[in-house]
Amino acid sequence: EVQLVESGGGLVQPGGSLRLSCAASGFTFNDYEMNWVRQAPGKGLEWVSYISSSGSTVHYADSVKGRFTISRDNAKNSLSLQMNSLSAEDTALYYCARYLRNLESLDYWGQGTLVTVSS
Amino acid sequence: ELVLTQSPATLSLSPGERATLSCRASQSVSSYFAWYQQRRGQAPRLLIYDVSKRATGIPARFSGSGSGTDFTLTISSLEPEDFAVYYCQQRSNWPGQLTFGGGTKVEIK
Give per-residue pLDDT as tens, A46-99.
999 999 999 999 999 999 999 999 999 999 999 999 999 999 999 999 999 999
As a whole number of angstroms, the distance between CA B11 and CA A21 comes to: 36
Whole-angstrom CA distances from A68 to A48, A59, A89 are 9, 10, 13
Report pLDDT for B96: 84
- Condensed to tens digits (0 to 9), the pLDDT of residues B25-54 reads 999 888 899 999 999 999 999 999 999 999
Cβ neighbourhood burial of A28 (10 Å; 0-12, 13-18, 19+) = exposed
pLDDT tens for A37-59 read 999 999 999 999 999 999 999 99
- Contact check, Cβ <8 Å, B97/A103: no
DSSP letter string over B43-107?
--EEEEETTTEEPTT--TTEEEEEETTEEEEEESS--GGG-SEEEEEEE-SSTT-EEE---EEEE
User: What confidence tens digit (pLDDT) does each residue in B58-101 have?
Assistant: 999 999 999 999 999 999 999 999 999 999 999 988 888 999 99
How far away is chain B from the Cα of A5, in angstroms, using its nearest Cα? 12
**Which residue type occupies B74?**
T
For chain A, the first-to-last Cα distance in angstroms comes to 40
Contact B98, B90 (CB under 8 A): yes
* Total residue count of chain B as it appears in this document: 109
Nearest by CB to B91, which of A45, A51, A104? A104
- What phi, psi does A109 have (nearest 5°)? -125, 145
Q: Is the CB of A44 less than 8 angstroms away from the CB of B87?
A: yes
Judge whether A86 is closer than 8 Å to chain B, CB to CB: no
Q: Which residue of B has its CA nearest to A93?
A: B43
Residues of A in Cβ contact (< 8 Å) with B21 = none
Q: What are the phi and psi torsion angles at A39 (to 5°)?
A: -145, 110
Residue in B38, B21, B23 with CA at minimum distance from that of residue B89: B23
* DSSP 8-class letter at A106: E
The pLDDT of residue B29: 86
Cα–Cα distance measured from residue A22 to residue A78, given in angstroms and rounded to the nearest whole number: 6
CB contact under 8 A, B96 and A103: no
| B39 close contact with A: CB closer than 8 A | no
- Inform me whether the pLDDT recorded for A113 exceeds 90: yes
C-beta atoms of B100 and A109 within 8 A: no
pLDDT of residue B12: 97
pLDDT (tens digit, 9 = 90+) per residue, A101-112? 989 999 999 999
Nearest to A105 among B89, B94, B97 (CB): B89
**A59 and B55 in contact by Cβ < 8 A?**
no
List the Cα angle B25/B105/A91 in 5-degree steps: 85
